[in-house]
Structure formats: C-alpha cells, structure tokens
Amino acid sequence: LSSNQREFDYFQLALQWPGTYCRTTHKCCQKNGCCRNSGAPQHFTIHGLWPDYNDGTWPSCCTKSNFDEKEISTLRKDLDEYWPSLSCGSPSSCHGHKGSFWGHEWEKHGTCSSPVVKDEYNYFRTGLTVYFKYNITEALSDAGYVPSNSEKYPLGGIISAIENAFHISPTVVCSGDAVKELNLCFYKDFKPRDCATRSRMDNSKTSCPKFVSLPTYDSS
Ligand code: 5GP
Ligand code: 5GP
Ligand code: 5GP
C-alpha cells in the first residue's frame, strides 16, 4: 500500500443489475462480441470488490501494479459470465492508459485491498468466491422478486429478502425506479456486515423510490 493511503476497513461487493445498466448505456455489450443483440444477463453481475473506510470514503489506485490479463486466464470463464463488462468503452486506468473493465477494477480498487488480497489473481478469485457464496439473484427470486418489465416491487421487501437470506443489510442504488446496483458488505475476514455507513454518508446514491423494478433489457 502506498504510504499516503492507510489500510482499508471493510469490503463492499458491488453488484450490478444488467437490465438496468444496459438501459442507461442504451446497449448491452458482452464478452468480445461487443453490442451484439443478445440482451442482458438475468442475474446480478459483479461490478467490483471495493475496499472502503468506515467514514464513507475509500482509497483508490494504491500501487502501480498494472493489470495483466494472463494472470487471470484460469478464471476467464467465470469472469466472462459473472463479472462481464456490459459497456463498450475502455475505461481509463489509474495511470492514464486505457484498459479493460477488469483492469480498471484491479488498478483502482484491487491494489488497495492489501494485505487481505495479495495479488491480481487473488483479487478476482476472491470476488468470485464471495459472489458465489451470497447468491442474491437466487435469494430475490426465492422471495418472488424476479426480472420483469411490468412488475414493481416494494424496496423494503427486496431489502428484507436479502436480510432474511444473509442476515445483513445491503445498499441499493436505483436509476429512476430500476434497481441498478446492490452492494453487500464484509469485514476484512469476509464475515458479512451491514453496509450502513455508506447509506448514512451518501443518501443520494441509495435513495430508491418505495417501489422499484428489476427490468430486463431486450435490444431491439
Ligand atoms: P458513482 O459515482 O458512479 O456511484 O461511482 C463512481 C465510481 O466511484 C465507482 O465506479 C467506484 O469505482 C467508486 N465508488 C463509488 N462509490 C464507492 C464506494 O462506496 N466505495 C468505493 N470503494 N468506491 C466507490
Ligand atoms: P463526488 O464529489 O461527486 O462524490 O465525487 C467526485 C469524484 O471523486 C468521483 O469520481 C468519485 O468517485 C470520487 N470520490 C468521491 N469520494 C471519494 C473517496 O473517498 N475516495 C476516492 N478515491 N474517490 C472519491
Ligand atoms: P467505476 O465506476 O468502477 O469507477 O468505473 C467503472 C468504469 O468501467 C467506468 O469507466 C465504466 O465506463 C467502465 N465499465 C465498463 N464496463 C462496465 C460495466 O459493466 N459496469 C460498470 N459500472 N462500468 C463499466
């Protein structure tokens, strides 16, 4: 960790709802077939594993460890499915150059996850492991909250479904009334904890309306 950024306090697993994300970008890009008319995945996908401070701020771009796609080749199949980039552009990394979504997440957030996460491979493997352990798509569908372009669901019901399944409170981010992101929080040893700090710090990001949707995205 670079000397100007102290060790983080906890992790957020930031998940995105593709049906909403793809609407806001007006396209849905998957794998290398960018912008094919394949619609959006109907499960939450990973946005990132983010180290955070308890005061609601976070470190970023902590070391000059450039992303190397070769290091995660054995995770590629899972990453393509569960941690895909749904946007066609190349985000800029911490150090100016353009790169992939994975490169962006590793360089911005992954490099600040030490000493818990040790390297790039470990960062992506850890994100996937936590994602598989807390299957929020399944927890929501078990409670009747399934993708739909006509149904509206009570936000409180969605939060309760997560609380009942995993005994922690998530934060939910909307775009209009559509759920865009759902975040789960963890102590440094990956025991689950509430994400309360963030909602106190930044209400604008967590204020969904009372009734929300989980839309599908059908490109046409
Ligand atoms: P936005 O402003 O679009 O919500 O977030 C922009 C970027 O800031 C995110 O992609 C993420 O990299 C970072 N970010 C936003 N909120 C948080 C947070 O609560 N914790 C961390 N670690 N990063 C965040
Ligand atoms: P805003 O002031 O609009 O929340 O954020 C402006 C920019 O600074 C955004 O790109 C946001 O992601 C970033 N930002 C806000 N708070 C933090 C923080 O605590 N740490 C880091 N690294 N970036 C932040
Ligand atoms: P963050 O919000 O994590 O700082 O930044 C995410 C960056 O990656 C943005 O520049 C965004 O354009 C790019 N990006 C590429 N694919 C995706 C995706 O599927 N979801 C999100 N949220 N950002 C993506």
Residue written as tokens 């009372």? Answer: 210
Cα of 42 vs centre of ligand 2, distance in Å, is 30
> Is residue 109 annotated as a catalytic residue, yes or no?
yes
Could you tell me the pLDDT band of residue 3, with boundaries at 50, 70 and 90? very low
Residue 47 annotated to the active site: yes
CATH 3.90.730.10 fits 10-212, yes or no: yes
Q: Is the CB of 12 under 6 A from ligand 1?
A: yes
Task: Give the confidence band of 38 by pLDDT, cuts at 50, 70, 90.
Answer: low
Q: Beta 211-212 vs 10-16: how paired, if at all?
A: unpaired
pLDDT at res. 219: 67
Ligand 1 atom with minimal separation from the 112 CA: 22
Burial (CB count <10 Å: 0-12, 13-18, 19+), residue 210: exposed
* pTM, entire model: 0.92
For residue 29, pLDDT beyond 80: no
H or E segment to which residue 184 belongs: strand 178-186
Give the chain's largest Cα–Cα span.
51
Contact yes or no for 109/1 (Cβ under 8 A): no
3-state helix, strand, coil in the chain (%, to 5): 35, 20, 45
ipTM: 0.88
What phi, psi does 22 have (nearest 5°)? -70, -30
Round to the nearest angstrom and report the end-to-end CA distance of the chain.
46
The rounded mean pLDDT for the chain is 89
- CB of 144 within 6 A of ligand 3: the answer is no
Counting ligands in written order, the one closest to the CA of 79 is 3
Q: What distances in angstroms separate CA 24 from CA 6, 69, 119, 207, 217, one per listed residue?
A: 35, 28, 32, 18, 10
> What residue segments make up the domains of the chain, in order of their start?
10-212
Query: Helix axis angle, 120-133 relative to 101-108, nearest 10°?
Result: 100
**Which ligand does the CA of 24 lie closest to?**
3
| 95 counts as catalytic | no
Mutate to test the pocket of ligand 2, among 8, 54, 57, 61 (most ligand atoms within 8 A of CB): 57
**What's the whole-number mean pLDDT along residues 17-33?**
79
Give 81-132 pLDDT, tens digit per residue.
999 998 887 888 888 888 899 999 999 999 999 999 999 999 999 999 999 9
CA of 60 to the centre of ligand 2 (A): 10
